[in-house]
Amino acid sequence: MKRFLSIACLQYTSTKDELITLNTIKKLINKAIEAGADFITLPECSTSLQENSVFTKNLAKSENENISLQYLKKIAKSKSIYILIGSLPIKLLNKLVNRSFLIGPNGKILYKYDKIHLYDVILPNGDTFRESDTYSGGKTAVIAKIKTNNIKIGMTICYDLRFPRLYQDLALNGAEIIVVPSAFSNVTGPVHWHTLLRARAIETGSFIIAPAQTGKHECGRISYGHSLIISPWGQILKDAKTKVCMISSKIDLDEVVAARKAIPNLHCIKKYSTDF
């Protein structure tokens, strides 16, 4: 039996006000549904980006209090669609996490994933990011299972992209699609983004779905854009470039089987002895 999934990536520029961003998201979701999508993905920092960790921490809410989460759960239920919320800042008892959510057509949270690899870098132009000043890193990899057509989806977020072992482990444990919601830097994006995403697709024989932030945010940050849908063979099926828009594709999961049969590298992964 053929297994298909109609996937959409939403690309936009999160503001500091989640209500303003949610208005943009709602319009793009409607366009995605018109295009036939039944699985809609949002980028990292899905509804807001703040100037610094102080503002992010002060504005963060628990899941029950988070306006964006409750709003998107209602949309998923009213439209009977799956929505991947790329990430939201979620306040727990004694920490903050950068958490991704998969919402089902019934409006309930099916899976959640806390970003494991935190973005602590100093870029060549002097831009400094210390995500660990804001968030605590996650500890557990997550594979979401969609009962319809029995599809398995590996959940990752942005900087995770630079750690191929995570993607290999997801694929080895059955992931056929890996989502990479991101707010990728405009400094590293032009040289790293397409290459890293295509590499992860080729290495794992998986579809890579990467919804991304784009343009200059109110907080001053600039995101690279270029949301991508990539086949297990490493072909770019859709590229959103830099505009605010929606891209979509109906993907055939049999392509995963074919790619992994042609290049069976996942079954040959070894732990190497060293003598350095």
Closest by CA position to 115, among listed 144, 63, 157: 157
Q: Residue 87 in contact with residue 98, Cβ under 8 Å? A: yes
Of residues 73, 115, 152, 176, which has the active-site annotation? 115
Distance CA 129, CA 220 (A): 13
> Is 115 labeled as catalytic in the residue annotation?
yes
> Is 219 labeled as catalytic in the residue annotation?
no
> Is 158 labeled as catalytic in the residue annotation?
yes
Would you call 276 helix, strand, or coil by DSSP?
Answer: coil
Of residues 44, 112, 131, 176, which has the active-site annotation? 44
E runs forming strands in 163-213: 177-179, 207-210
Residue found under tokens 């504005």 = 59
Rounded to a whole number of angstroms, the CA Rg of the chain reads 18
Query: 116-123, long-range: CB within 8 Å, 24+ apart, which pairs?
Result: 116/140, 116/141, 116/160, 116/163, 116/166, 117/159, 117/160, 117/162, 117/163, 117/166, 118/159, 119/158, 119/159, 123/185, 123/187, 123/188
The residues carrying an active-site annotation are 44, 115, 158
